[in-house]
Structures are given as C-alpha cells and as structure tokens.
Amino acid sequence: MDVTKNDSMEIRLSDHVVLVRQAVRKWATDLGFSLVDQTKMITAASELARNTLDYGGGGTVRLELVKQGPRNGLRLTFEDQGPGIPDLEKALTDGYTTGRGMGMGLSGSKRLVNEFEIVSRVGEGTRVTITRWK
Amino acid sequence: MERIPILRMGDYLIVTIQVDMHDRVVTTLQDDLTSMIAANGSHGVLIDISCLDIVDSFVGRMIGNIAAMSHVLDAETVVVGMRPAVAITLVELGLSLTGVRTALNVEKGMALLRAATRGRLLEDGDGRDQE
Ligand SMILES: Nc1ncnc2c1ncn2[C@@H]1O[C@H](COP(=O)(O)OP(=O)(O)OP(=O)(O)O)[C@@H](O)[C@H]1O
Ligand SMILES: [Mg+2]
C-alpha cells in the first residue's frame, strides 16, 4: 500500500474536532468519494476525534491518501497517550460507555468504514486506524 | 460565545442550524431551547437540520434530549430537512432517534406540529376564556 499524501493534526480542544471534520470533508471530496461515503467517513472521524479528546486526554490524527493497486482510499489514524481501554470487546459493544455518551462511537464508526483497527494498552494509550476505499 | 439563534413564532420555537457546531454550541442550544420552552410555554419546537452534512452521536444525543425535555414540558419536537446521506449514516451508526418526529421540510414540519398540538392550543384558549 502506497501513501500518496499525508498530513497530521492536533486534537487538543473541542474546536479541533470541528477542524478534523473539515479536513476529512476536504480530503474525501478531493478523492471523489460519493456523498454517502463522504458522510460516513466524516461521521466516523467526528466520533473518533471526540473520543481522542474526551477519553484519551487529547492526541493527534494522521490523514493519508492511500493507494493499493487500482484502489484509492482515505486512511485516518487517531492516537493518544491516555489511559487506554482495559476491555476492548466491551468498548466495541453498542451502548457501552464509561462517560455520558450513548456508547455508539466506536462500534458505530466501525460499521461506517471498510477497515477498522484498534490497539490500546492500559496506561499507554490508544490508536484507532480506519480506512475507507473509493 | 457562538450561539444558535432561536426564533419564536407564536406558540412555536424555530431553530435553523447553519453551521458545523462545536460541542459547546450544541450543549448551549439544548439549554437555551429548554429554558425558552419553559419561559414562553411553547407547544412546539421545529429544528431545521437541512444545512447539516453530518449528524454524529453527540448531535444525535442532543436532538434526542431536546425531544425528551420538550415532552416533559408539554411541547412537541419535529426535526426537518435531514439529508438522505445523513439519514443513511445515522442508521448505520446505530442511532435510531426513536421518539423524535421528523418531516421532509419546514412546511411539512409546521403542519405536523400544528396537528400534534391542536388539542393543547384549544385547551389554552379555554383556559383564557375562563379567566
Ligand atoms: N481514546 C480512548 N481512550 C480511552 N478510552 C476510550 C477511548 N475511546 C473510547 N474509549 C472508551 O470506550 C468507551 C466507548 O466509546 P464510544 O465512543 O463507543 O462511546 P462513548 O464515547 O462513551 O459515547 P458516544 O460516542 O456514543 O457519545 C468509552 O466510554 C470509553 O470508556
Ligand atoms: Mg464516543
């Protein structure tokens, strides 16, 4: 898989979540994503950016245009050095929240993308990578 | 701070969300609407989201909360103008917005509000007559 373009953004403030949505919107449009695909990717990005801020204590997102054979895609990697997630299976269950949310962010964004990977270590942090192909 | 304006039209409150709101703006809107329903004795709230290109779980929760709170305050909430791509994404995300009435556009939303609150408007009228 080749990365043809990349950028990285901070997620430290609630305004940054808005900026991440705007950047993903721009990248997805430039890639020629359909309206529904754009909407799905921006929504997933919004969920994960908010988790990075609210639970991870802030972090970063890396945006990458990826190419695999004839396919082009958008890959986003959210990373924080927060408390980590002790039970990933639970966290990925619809409706599970340790905050005041609806517990739909992780499980829901997984459904909105083609590839979803999560790595989390207690006391070290969390990294979520999502990819959507055109 | 940035705030979403709320218009008062007779017994109803009307909100048009035109910007990509950051989370604090969403929470403020929810609080503002609740206090305005209570202060004005409004019977209906119409929220136009036709400008929103995404609704995530945070905004979805806000819409659900507004509907629940207005219900407690004896008012109806109608959400209008949800884009098809947003509706598809919401379902896949897993948010059903149960308990929230929706309509295609502002006109249909107002008609729905009128039909849903007709009884209450009459009751209010009777109340006034007796004074
Ligand atoms: N980056 C993270 N660091 C630590 N814990 C996390 C992180 N992301 C998610 N979690 C944990 O996983 C749980 C589930 O996350 P999810 O996004 O599904 O729901 P939520 O954020 O609680 O609610 P919603 O997203 O519906 O508003 C969170 O409540 C939190 O405990
Ligand atoms: Mg979340």
| Confidence band of A11 (pLDDT split at 50, 70, 90) | very high
Model ipTM value: 0.93
| Confidence band of B131 (pLDDT split at 50, 70, 90) | very low
| Cβ-based contacts under 8 A for chains A and B | 70
User: With a CB-CB cutoff of 8 Å, which residues 78-117 of chain B face chain A?
Assistant: 83, 85-86, 88-89, 92-95
Residue B55 near residue B90 (C-beta atoms within 8 A): yes
- Rounded to an integer, what distance in angstroms lies between the CA atom of residue B61 and that of residue A15? 19
Q: What is the pLDDT of residue B125?
A: 62
pLDDT in tens, B40-88: 999 999 999 999 999 999 999 999 999 999 999 999 999 999 999 999 9
A125 CA closest ligand 1 atom index: 3
pLDDT in tens, A17-71: 999 999 999 999 999 999 999 999 999 999 999 999 999 999 999 999 999 999 9
Structure tokens at A22: 């705007």
Whether B121 has a pLDDT exceeding 80, the answer reads: no
Q: Report the greatest alpha carbon distance in chain B.
A: 52
Domains and CATH numbers, chain B: 6-122 (3.30.750.24)
CA A74 to chain centre: 11
Domains and CATH numbers, chain A: 2-133 (3.30.565.10)
Q: What is the pLDDT of residue B128?
A: 47
- Rounded to an integer, what distance in angstroms lies between the CA atom of residue A78 and that of residue B58? 18
Strands of the sheet containing B12-16, edge to edge, are B6-9, B12-16, B44-48, B76-80, B101-103
Segment A71-87 mean pLDDT: 97
Cα distance from B99 to chain A (closest Cα, Å)?
Answer: 16
B17, B28, B52, B56, best to mutate vs chain A, most A CBs in 10 Å: B56
Side chain identity, residue B71: H
E strands within chain B? 6-9, 12-16, 44-48, 76-80, 101-103
Residue B95 near residue A103 (C-beta atoms within 8 A): no
| Helix (H/G/I), strand (E/B), else coil: B61 | helix
Side chain identity, residue B61: R
User: With a CB-CB cutoff of 8 Å, which residues 13-42 of chain B face chain A?
Assistant: 20-24
Q: What is the pLDDT of residue A30?
A: 96
**In Å, what is the CA distance from B76 to each residue of A51, A77, B101?**
32, 41, 8
- Rounded to an integer, what distance in angstroms lies between the CA atom of residue B3 and that of residue B14? 14
Whether B27 has a pLDDT exceeding 70, the answer reads: yes
Q: Which of B50, B51, B55, B46 is nearest to B26 (CA)?
A: B55
Model-level pTM? 0.93
Q: Which of B51, B99, B55, B52 is nearest to B78 (CA)?
A: B99
Are β-strands B76-80 and B44-48 bridged in parallel, bridged antiparallel, or unpaired? Answer: parallel
Phi, psi of B97 (to 5 degrees): 50, 40
A78 CA closest ligand 1 atom index: 1
Whether A105 has a pLDDT exceeding 70, the answer reads: yes
